[in-house]
Amino acid sequence: MRALTAVFGVLIVLKETEAWGYKNGILHNSIWLEQAAGVYHRESRKGRYQLTYKEAKAVCNFEGGTLATFDQLEAARQIGFHVCAAGWLDKGRVGYPIVKAGSNCGFGKVGIIDYGYRLNKSERWDVYCYNPVAKECGGVHTDPEKVLVSPGYPDEYQDEQICYWHIRVRFGHRIRLHFLDFDIEEDTDCLSDHLEIYDSYDDVSGFVGRYCGDQLPDDFISTGNVMTLKFLSDSSVTAGGFKLQYISVNSSQLFDLLADSFS
């Protein structure tokens, strides 16, 4: 029964990969994902589900970290680490962290979706690494108010950056984004470098907009208490980067904000 569940799980996850990868010429959920409590998700540069156990270990070691343990992954999950991709863990275990139940990921369950200790270490999955001093780019943010900047700001951002910021405020509150500085390599459709806003927990649903150039994007207010920002830069031409502030607003503050914007 357990084996059946695991096989079933693999099928679901494989099916889901179609929603990831390239969509409209934009890479979705690749290489650097969010990180929390020193845990982060990695996939092979060749793409999703390409790493054997040995290779997975090498990826983490190469970056100065180790394979995350089940407990480290769970600790990260408890502060909002949510990734819809199965990866190797310490001692050959495979699983992934689900914070928010969804019909298309994690069988509607919340917790570590556990595929158990794999007997066949040649199976190919992604990996979860643990490195408490890993590069700061994106992350999970639960403060009611914070300033977020592009990597290296106020210096120019570098090529080939992928950062995810997950913002999660108190249930019932909403998130207001306000841009303070904005300068990203400009091109048609913002395909080279861009910041994307998603009114949801991931970069698959709730797409709000993709931004580049040097005009400040308009303020945005989320519909729920979570939001995802994604920054991506390609292999040439950088720019000044961005700085924005988010603020958690309750329903009465929201009412005032909306009243202001219509007066």
Ligand X SMILES: *[C@@H]1O[C@H](CO)[C@@H](O)[C@H](O)[C@H]1NC(C)=O
Q: How far is the CB of 191 from Ca ion (least distance, A)?
A: 10
Distances (CA, A) of 208 to 36, 117, 125, 131: 24, 39, 31, 32
Quick note: the x/- pattern for Ca ion over 23-52, rule CB under 5 A, is ------------------------------
**Structure tokens, 19:** 């929603």
Distance of closest approach, residue 219 Cβ to ligand X, in angstroms = 18
Q: Which CB, 51 or 232, lies closer to ligand X?
A: 51
Distances (CA, A) of 156 to 37, 86, 116, 163, 183: 27, 34, 43, 15, 9
Chosen from ligand X, Ca ion, none, partner binding at 158 (C-beta under 5 to 8 Å by type)? none
9-17, 19-27, 185-193, 248-256 -> range binding Ca ion (CB under 5 A): 185-193
Element (H, E) at 166: strand 162-168
Shortest separation between residue 51's beta carbon and ligand X, angstroms: 11
Report in angstroms how near the CB of residue 153 gets to Ca ion at its nearest.
Answer: 15
The Cα 55–Cα 261 span in angstroms is 53
Question: Which of 43, 183, 193, 202: binder of Ca ion (CB under 5 A)?
Answer: 193
Q: Which does 193 bind (CB under 5 to 8 A by kind): ligand X, Ca ion, none?
A: Ca ion
For residues 238, 140, 200 and 41, what is the CA-based torsion angle, rounded to 10 degrees? Answer: 80
Residue 237 interacts with Ca ion (CB under 5 A)? yes
Q: Which helix (H) or strand (E) holds 246?
A: strand 241-249
Give the three-state DSSP class for 102.
strand
The entry of Ca ion, ligand X, none near residue 253 (CB within 5 to 8 angstroms by kind) is ligand X
Q: Which residues bind ligand X (CB under 6 A)?
A: 120, 122-123, 250-253
Question: Does position 14 bind Ca ion by CB under 5 A?
Answer: no
